[in-house]
Structure 1
């Protein structure tokens, strides 16, 4: 492969990852016109159209998707090999890129990464907050953070947080006008606050479980958000029942600002895990981050 060809492939990966020539050009430190010329040169050499361009968006063609799947792992392996050279230094150094949800970043990652960065000045961390699922190989992330039950089998998964629970909650002002639900079926008569999912764009079906019964309940109400924190705020204002992560409302439950119902239908489930490709060659910096984040049960 010629040096120019490698540069063209990297330019294509940047545009494919950002889905935008403008953002990719800013990321690469070049002009949009120069980047567009580079990608067209690659398409001409291959005799294939890799990107479908419109005035508002950039999408991958079938050929583009196949190329990205082919070269993404190869470049990720090269990045891993280069990062591994950091092992020859006296101190762990380099940049670790991770994709994570906002809740995981606040509750699990930052309490560990903040102190770690202060004690290792040559370590650099980039966190991309994204509630959807990201192809960490194609997008050239070192690792991702997601719930343990949603990680692909071909990834190495390291537990980095405790078990989680959902909580169905409402404000006292809401329950002053509505009876407390005693079963999931009672939710049909309640005003509930819906969560819009980031991936397919559908509404989250409340996942309730008791013994051998596993229910996915579709609820209805006046409000839909794509933010759990806004759902909590609306619940505090008495505008409906909410189904959110328990730790988001721990203080409000303790103070009585929110009241919990259906707690026997909300068992614990697998918490956050850090995951990365099994073929990855870990650098000293990456190994340091993984070990620092690894969850350890208390006494």
Structure 2
């Protein structure tokens, strides 16, 4: 007979919690064992993976609706002590009951993994993965994060689990992210889609399975012949501001260029007359720095299809250009 919720229990048991208890009670009936016998069995069935033994009192609380949703360890010990199977179904019902009782999953508004585009999307999706896993203990997530012989405490610090689960931050690397997902029960066959989401949100590039697309996003500034890293998506306002800046840089480059040769000659002459070789070197260093700036300005204007040779610059009234040799 299923236990009934106690008077004044808060909150009332949810639909999934009731389904979990019904399933566990049915397993006990099939086993034909008393709680004392189940407690005795838990000493041996739980020792292999660290589940541990539980008392008869704890086992009774597992199926008591007034006690709230039990912890995962107690549910696992209960099912294994019954010895009639049903563990996978029990854990699925337990996760649903935890999600129902915590009531946080809907508030995250997490996008589907294929719809993740930003770091905020990724943070919400990872927190949702933790909630769908039943919000297990942080140490349990860390232990399940182990992979290829590397222990979970090496791959995934508890502080990272805490920040990620509470949407306070993201894992530092994809390996940490994958470890967190394993700890939340995400299967290996879904990891490829999660890695693509990581690439989109964190690495800042559009990715497909196993490779990155070299095609830049519309409106991105990319040097020809080079793969963008990262691709920058400009809003119309930013792009208009950039075009205005590029026009100003083109005018500046046109004005500065005739002066660099004259400045180089002047620096050499002053260095020789006044202080010798040291001042000459300092003057040349300043001229070289100015020349490097000029090359950068010219590259920027060419990149945007602007400059005196492009024919796109409007005439500028009142602009004064010094002739070579004017000093």
Same fold (TM over 0.5): no
- What band does the TM-score fall into relative to the shorter chain? under 0.3
Q: Which has the higher helix share?
A: 2
Q: Which has the higher contact order (CA 8 A, sep 6+)?
A: 1
Mark the structure with the bigger radius of gyration.
Answer: 2
